[in-house]
């Protein structure tokens, strides 16, 4: 273990030395990475001082959290991208709208849409921290106020609560360290979100739709090529820069970010978060996160966090890490899989590369089985199914007035999948029982499982074959650079090197 740790540290120093000696420091990709890690390190130091160091957990706090871990909650929720939209949903519920009807309007996921937003049973640690806090403090049957989570806002209604009847001191003692660690993490997350909410309220970001539209199109192009999201530096093509780069996206306080300024910051966003951007509302959420990050960074500088000795030491480590990661990715970029090998891998395992079977379905929701049977009989006797949906289906709103779920694989339909996938095109299921309603599914079209062509499977094959080759190339590079620097290990000193155990 000591030897591996030492090798990793030495490798970082070797790579830093290589970058400094080779003139690569002026590369915009490296500058972007250094800037990202500088901000990340200073924000981490600010978070330590302003949030983590101020968390004080009593035994009563830990016991209360332990009790939550012995409780199971069943809840429904409605999702909205903004607080205003979430509050509108809440008002509809308070005015008598059915949770199930609204769920059919707001969810794209067929399961949540058709089961009324039912999340099933969960316990502490299985949901977003803010969602969890709200659900555990909500009496069954009561509708929550809008709850801000990582991806938007939720309106929650608890359906059931199950509490373990007997909890012993032995169980508590065995779980105490784990519970304390989780509770600390949760309070850190909630504290950080509180700061973000406050700075955004003060800054009041204002968005420009023309810039947002252009930016959304650019992000859609990036999403179509996932490898482009995992990069150090996103550089817009010249024609895109000329046409859209100067369009304003967002203004806050004394700052104004155009499309080019936002794109330069996209490399700081995790690819999984960029993939969540599907529309203007989700794009605004992403931009709010970037704005909050910038404002908290400025707050940290104003506090002098970067002048602390511990921060300076962390910045030196972060700079070294950034340079080593830069060099690793630069070496990776020199590796390619020959076309012949890609084709050979495809021919050997072509049955593993395929598009799954998908269906397009139309759904009609009835309040009881007799109504569902009557409407099915009308459809079988020639009545237009879409007209029946418009006239009789419950909870069909403007977002999906025809009740159509576009191309989806089996997994999207949950417990309804077997009935749906047994249908032939134009057939209608017998009434399928849901949670307080009955469903009629009509199969509109079916796409059978299809093997991918070589060009369609190429990206997947490269993702499988490239990583081991990249690692081998990097090991060759680092071994060569280490030999040139004549690095020697001292086994006696290595044996005495302390291993620091992470805090519980």
User: Within a 13 Å sphere around the CA of 128, how many CA atoms are in the beta-carbon half?
Assistant: 16
Structure tokens belonging to residue 264: 């330069």
Domain(s) labelled CATH 3.10.50.40 in the chain stretch across 59-195, 354-451
Residue 126: pLDDT band with limits 50, 70, 90: very high
pLDDT value of position 398: 56
Maximum pairwise Cα distance, the chain? 89
Q: Is the pLDDT of residue 435 over 80?
A: no
User: What's the CA angle centered on 275, arms 78 and 115, to 5 degrees?
Assistant: 25
Give 436 or 469, the one with higher predicted confidence: 469
| 410: Cβ contacts below 8 Å, ≥ 6 apart | 356, 357, 417, 421
Query: H or E stretch including 365?
Result: strand 358-366
pLDDT value of position 258: 93
3-state secondary structure 95-125: CCCCHHHHHHHHCCCHHHHHCCCEEEEECCC
User: 354-451 domain in CATH 3.10.50.40?
Assistant: yes
Strands 432-433 and 438-447: antiparallel
Give 161 or 5, the one with higher predicted confidence: 161
Residue 226: pLDDT band with limits 50, 70, 90: low
pLDDT value of position 501: 55
**Strands lying side by side in the sheet with 255-258:** 206-207, 248-252, 255-258
Are 474 and 335 in contact by the 8 Å Cβ rule? The answer is no
* Residues above pLDDT 70, as percent of the chain: 95
Q: CATH number of the domain at 59-195, out of 3.30.110.30, 3.40.50.12780, 3.10.50.40, 3.40.50.300?
A: 3.10.50.40
| 390: Cβ contacts below 8 Å, ≥ 6 apart | 396, 401, 402
* Across 110-135, average pLDDT: 91
What are the φ and ψ backbone dihedral angles of 195, each rounded to 5 degrees? -65, -45
Phi-psi region of 258 (alpha: psi -120 to 50; beta: other; left: phi over 0): beta
Closest alpha carbon to 177 in 70, 71, 72, 57: 57
pTM, 2 dp = 0.77
Are 210 and 280 in contact by the 8 Å Cβ rule? The answer is no
- Using CA atoms, how far residue 267 sits from 26, 33, 160, 234, 406, in Å, is 18, 9, 43, 6, 32
* Across 364-392, average pLDDT: 94
* pLDDT tens per residue, range 381-394: 999 999 999 998 87
What are the φ and ψ backbone dihedral angles of 483, each rounded to 5 degrees? -60, -40
């Amino acid at each position: 273990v000591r030897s591996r740790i030492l090798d990793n540290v030495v490798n970082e120093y070797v790579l830093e030395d290589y970058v400094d000696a080779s003139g690569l420091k002026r590369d915009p990709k490296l500058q972007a990475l250094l800037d990202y890690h500088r901000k990340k390190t200073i924000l981490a130091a600010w978070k330590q001082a302003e949030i983590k160091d101020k968390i004080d957990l009593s035994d009563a706090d830990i016991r209360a959290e332990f009790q939550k871990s012995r409780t199971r909650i069943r809840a429904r929720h409605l999702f909205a991208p903004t607080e205003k939209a979430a509050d509108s949903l809440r008002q509809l519920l308070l005015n008598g709208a059915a949770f199930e009807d609204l769920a059919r309007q707001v969810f794209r996921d067929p399961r949540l849409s058709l089961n009324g937003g039912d999340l099933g049973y969960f316990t502490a640690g299985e949901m977003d921290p803010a969602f969890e806090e709200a659900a555990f403090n909500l009496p069954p049957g009561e509708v929550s106020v809008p709850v801000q989570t990582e991806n938007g806002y939720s309106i929650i209604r608890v359906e059931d609560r199950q509490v373990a009847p007997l909890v012993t001191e032995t169980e508590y003692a065995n779980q105490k360290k784990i519970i304390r660690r989780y509770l600390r993490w949760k309070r850190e997350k909630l504290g950080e979100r509180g700061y973000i909410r406050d700075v955004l309220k003060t800054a009041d970001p204002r968005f420009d739709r023309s810039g947002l539209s252009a930016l959304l199109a650019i992000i859609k192009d990036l999403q179509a090529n996932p490898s482009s999201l995992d990069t150090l530096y996103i550089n817009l093509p010249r024609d895109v820069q000329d046409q859209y780069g100067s369009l304003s996206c967002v203004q806050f306080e004394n700052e104004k970010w155009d499309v080019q300024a936002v794109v330069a910051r996209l490399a700081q966003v995790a690819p999984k978060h960029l993939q969540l951007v599907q529309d203007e509302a989700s794009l605004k959420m992403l931009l709010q996160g970037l704005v909050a990050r910038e404002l908290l960074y400025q707050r940290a500088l104003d506090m002098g966090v970067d002048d602390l000795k511990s921060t300076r030491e962390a910045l030196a480590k972060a700079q070294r890490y950034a340079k080593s990661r830069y060099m690793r990715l630069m070496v990776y970029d020199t590796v390619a899989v020959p076309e012949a090998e890609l084709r050979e891998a495809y021919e050997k395992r072509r049955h593993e590369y395929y598009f799954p079977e998908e269906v397009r379905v139309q759904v009609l929701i009835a309040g009881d089985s007799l109504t569902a049977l009557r409407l099915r009989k009308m459809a079988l006797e020639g009545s237009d199914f879409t007209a029946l949906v418009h006239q009789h289906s419950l909870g069909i709103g403007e977002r999906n007035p025809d009740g159509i779920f576009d191309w989806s694989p089996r997994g999207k339909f949950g417990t309804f999948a077997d009935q749906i996938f047994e249908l032939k095109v134009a057939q209608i299921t017998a009434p399928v029982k849901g949670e307080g309603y009955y469903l009629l599914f009509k199969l509109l079209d079916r796409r059978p499982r299809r093997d991918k062509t070589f060009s369609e499977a190429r990206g997947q094959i490269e993702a499988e074959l490239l990583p081991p080759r990249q690692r081998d190339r990097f090991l060759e590079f680092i071994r060569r650079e280490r030999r040139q620097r004549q690095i020697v290990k001292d086994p006696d000193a290595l044996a005495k090197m302390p291993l620091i155990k992470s805090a519980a």
